[in-house]
Amino acid sequence: MTLTATPVTDAAVAAPQAPVTVSGRAFPTNRGGLCKKGWTSAELLASPERILEPMLKQADGSFAPASWDDALDLVAEKLRSTRAEHGADAVGVFGGGGLTNEKAYQLGKFTRVALGSSRIDYNGRFCMSSAAAAGNRAFGLDRGLPFPVDALDAAATILILGSNVAQTMPPFIGHLEGARQAGGLIVVDPRRTATARLTEDGAGMHVQPTPGSDLVLLLGLTHIVIADKLADRDYLDSRTTGFEALRRSVSAWWPERVQQKTGVPVWQLRDLARRLAAGRASGVGTYILTGRGVEQHADGTDTATAAINLSLVLGLVGTSHSGYGTLTGQGNGQGGREHGQKCDQLPGYRKIADPADRAHVAGVWGVDPDTLPGVGLPAVQLLQSLGQPGGVRTLLVHAANVVVSAPNAGAVREGLAALDFLVVCDFFFSETASLANVVLPVTQWAEEEGTVTTLEGRVIRRRKALDAPAGVRSELWILQQLAERLNAPSTWSAVPAEVFDELGRATAGALADYSGLSHALLDTDVPAFWPFPIGSAGTPRLFQERFAHADGRAHIVAVRPVTTDATAQLDGNITLVTGRLLEHYQSGAQTRRVPELLTAQPAARLQVHPATAELLSIVDGGWVEVANDRGTVRCRAQVTTDIRLDTVFLPFHFAGEGRANSLTSDATDPISGMPEFKKTTVRVRALQEAGALV
């Protein structure tokens, strides 16, 4: 989504309204279209709830304003004392996929150079990490879409697994119209979402598997493609390794067995496999796209790998008319994971455990490589360490609201409460900021310069439209001031263009090479797809000639399910899946403060099938309790045939009694560190009124 913000008159700024207007910009990805969140985004700039000066928690739990010098002096003192008493790794940093590239880069540098800590990770670990891990092991490189978004326009067949783009990013659905007209849009989702409805009236097919069975479904499709001689053997022989191991591994997943495990009928499995192959064979194109629905599982990396394997067997990846990609969720989800917020990465996807990568980045930073820490903890493990012996004692949080967004959120809240000191940079008193010792007010999107990277790997400029309120500062300035107070080595600019130039030098020669880019070049609106080394014109389509592995081939990795049985529906136990609503975003810390959006969706509702509702004496609009050993949610029910009988759905945008992540598990994928958000066993029962059992 691309926004253009235009300042309005001084008289209008003084009035009780937003100080900018928002309009869509003619751009290849959104073509001037915006979602509700985009159209209303300017309202937050002048919100009466906005924090306009540093706030310090008082002994009675209230907050009082402080000067920037006093607040930063206190933060620096706590950082020094924590390191002196408990060691550098007792200081942790939690970042976010909403930060600009410059801020994400500087945050990673600050953690490793100014703090000397390995304890940094970010909320993108909850979103894209499984797809990233799968892309790295298959292709040697992770970029959400290795092709421009508008390449989808001409496709005959598009398979979307586990993504409700019609609600999460509505402008995207314009790129699906060609496939819909050809009858080739295929949506895999346990719910009949707004995206699934796009397949109706001959536009395609909705496949509705049991929750958590996507891996088996993909193995079964691959089995059919191979058995029915629909595989592209020339492509497999010339561009991949590992096919024979894959062929043997999927031989056990014949259609009848897959039907038993997934609930998808054999005829639909065969039809789906043939549609994918026909789209590729026609020369018009087939694309396979995955989203969080198949990735947010304890086997999410293997499931994304299975989707990639299917793409490779069909010969889709690295061609001029077909492909595979994953749909990035956050505003800078792609760039946010490239430049050092992940616990094992340095800028440009360099690896912190690789001596050559450490040496290059340390040279740019002007420090000894041996002073850089090693690999830290991924997000869930980082949060589990809060306040624990040998764990994080002081935490800095940027662009995240973990009290609502993290799995097993009740335990996360307890961990935050056990800290010695918590610092949060935010616009509002989010549920996480409300627990902080110090809250530092930061700039919003229209008040800052910088860059973000789209899901297709396109680097675009964010341009300042108006000045921030007098007491608000950018994270770049905050990090610079703290680095000075800590006597940190290296240089620390607060000028976004200068930080971006340094980022370019740090990424030179890396997988995500930005060295040929600058703010000045991006101001010309040049299409800037990374890798973009010096002298390059960028790379809109990856893998045209070779993959990023040393042998130039894609590596097919055979995977198998650890468990294949759906959760039994006994004694009120049922499978909960979580996801998004059109009106809200992430933890809702911003969108729940926009009156139009909150009025449309004021609270969480549990989607439940009519037959299940009748079995459990639930009525539409009535109160229900959803519980397990981790927590309890109380909300109203929405009885709908859009959900499977064995499944219920909760949005994850709400706090308090409606917080869906009170229920989700902090079990994680062993490869990516992704939590299990999409398959949680819960008990559901009707309430006569909030808190009272029928």
Q: Is the pLDDT of residue 360 over 70?
A: yes
State the Cα–Cα distance between residues 546 and 439, nearest whole angstrom: 48
Assign 30 a pLDDT band (cuts: 50, 70, 90).
confident
Asked whether residue 539 is assigned to any structural domain, the reply reads: no
What does residue 661 show for φ and ψ, rounded to 5 degrees? -80, 5
Q: How many other CB atoms are there within 10 angstroms of residue 349's CB atom? A: 25
pLDDT band for position 669 (cuts 50, 70, 90) = very high
pLDDT, residue 570, reads 52
Rounded CA-CA distance 239/237 in Å is: 6
How high is the pLDDT of residue 1? Answer: 42
- Asked if pLDDT for residue 331 goes beyond 50, the answer is yes
Q: Are residues 108 and 164 in the same domain?
A: no
User: pLDDT-based confidence at 283, cuts 50/70/90?
Assistant: confident
455 domain residue, yes or no? yes
Which range of residues forms the domain containing residue 486? 55-126+332-464+471-492
Residue range 640-658: average pLDDT? 94
- Cα–Cα dist 548/457, whole Å: 15
The predicted pLDDT at position 386 comes to 98
- Using 50, 70 and 90 to split pLDDT, how confident is the model at 7? very low
Helix (H, G, I), strand (E, B) or coil at 438: strand
pLDDT, one tens digit per residue, over 211-238 is 889 999 999 999 999 999 999 999 999 9
Q: DSSP label at 110?
A: I
Residue 9: its pLDDT value, please? 33
**Assigned domain for 139 exists:** no
Confirm whether 632 is domain-assigned. yes
pLDDT attached to residue 569: 54
The answer to whether the beta carbons of residues 403 and 432 sit under 8 Å apart is yes
Between CA 134 and CA 309 the distance in angstroms is: 10
Q: Are residues 87 and 154 in the same domain?
A: no
- 283 in the same domain as 233: yes
CA-CA distances (angstroms) from residue 460 to 451, 452, 507, 567? 6, 6, 17, 44
Confidence grade of residue 5 (pLDDT, cut at 50, 70, 90): low
Domain with residue 600: its CATH number is 2.40.40.20
| Residue 137 within any structural domain of the chain | no
Kindly tell me if the per-residue pLDDT of 18 is higher than 50. Answer: no
Both tokens of 654, joined, read 């709400």
Q: State yes or no: cis peptide before 531, omega within 30 of 0.
A: yes
Residue 274 CA: distances (Å) to CA of 232, 242, 294, 443: 13, 23, 22, 51
On whether both 480 and 360 belong to a single domain, the answer is yes
Measured CA to CA in angstroms, residue 637 lies from 228, 257, 459, 539, 607 at distances of 45, 34, 42, 48, 6
Please report the pLDDT score of residue 694 as a whole number.
Answer: 43
Q: What is the CATH number of the domain that holds 358?
A: 3.40.50.740
Residue 466 has pLDDT above 70, yes or no: yes
Same domain for 388 and 485: yes
Q: What is the dihedral of CA 29, 30, 36, 41, to 10 degrees?
A: 70
Residues 71 and 166 in one domain: no
DSSP single-letter state for residue 253: -
What number is the average pLDDT over the span 88-115? 97
Q: Alpha-carbon distance 572 to 520, whole Å?
A: 60
**Can you read off the two tokens belonging to residue 223?**
């089995």
Whether residue 278 is found in the same domain as residue 375: no
Over residues 176-189, the pLDDT tens digits come to: 999 999 999 999 99
Q: Give the mean model confidence (pLDDT) for residues 606-625.
A: 96
Is 580 a domain residue? Answer: yes
pLDDT digits (tens, 9 = 90+) for 110-127: 999 999 999 999 999 998
Predicted pLDDT of residue 311: 98
Asked if residues 523 and 299 have their Cβ atoms less than 8 Å apart, the reply is: no
Mean of the per-residue pLDDT values of the chain = 92
Whether residue 321 is found in the same domain as residue 235:
yes
Q: Determine the pLDDT at residue 472.
A: 98
Same domain, 184 and 113: no
* 413 located within any domain: yes
Whether residue 8 is predicted with pLDDT greater than 60 in this model: the reply is no
Domain boundary residue among 310, 326, 342? 326
> β-strand 438-441 against 55-57: which pairing, if any?
antiparallel
pLDDT tier at 4, thresholds 50, 70, 90: low
DSSP-assigned letters across all residues of 119-153: -EEEGGGGTTHHHHHHHHHHHS---S-SS-GGGGG
- Calculate ∠ Cα 416-419-424, nearest 5°: 60
Question: Residue 138 falls within a domain, yes or no?
Answer: no
Cα 227 to Cα 513: distance, rounded to the nearest angstrom: 41
- Give dist(CA 203, CA 181) in Å, integer: 6
Q: Residue 57: its pLDDT value, please? A: 98
What's the pLDDT score for residue 12? 26
Q: Assess whether pLDDT exceeds 90 at residue 411.
A: yes
pLDDT given for residue 693 in this prediction: 47
> Of the candidates 308, 326, 344, which is a domain's last residue?
326
pLDDT band of residue 32 (cuts 50, 70, 90) is confident
Tell me 111's DSSP state: I
At 280, the pLDDT band (50, 70, 90 cuts) reads: confident
Q: How many domains does the chain have?
A: 4
In a shared domain, residues 320 and 444:
no
Q: Which residue has the tokens 């706030």?
A: 55
In this structure, the answer to whether residues 173 and 298 fall within a common structural domain is: yes
Q: Tell me which of 36-45, 57-66, 73-82, 531-540 is least confident.
A: 36-45
Tell me how crowded residue 602 is: count the other CB atoms within 10 A of its CB.
12
Amino acid at 605: R
**% of the chain with per-residue pLDDT over 70:** 95
Q: Note whether 98 and 200 are same-domain residues.
A: no
Confidence of residue 19 (pLDDT cuts 50, 70, 90): low
Mean pLDDT of 500-508: 98
Could you give the CA distance from residue 635 to residue 662 in angstroms, rounded to a whole number?
13
Task: Read off the CATH number of the domain in which 287 is found.
Answer: 3.40.228.10
Contact 304, 142 (CB under 8 A): no
Predicted confidence at residue 11, as pLDDT, reads 29
Cβ neighbours for 239, distance < 8 A, ≥ 6 positions apart: 312, 318, 547, 553, 554
Q: Is the pLDDT of residue 477 over 90?
A: yes
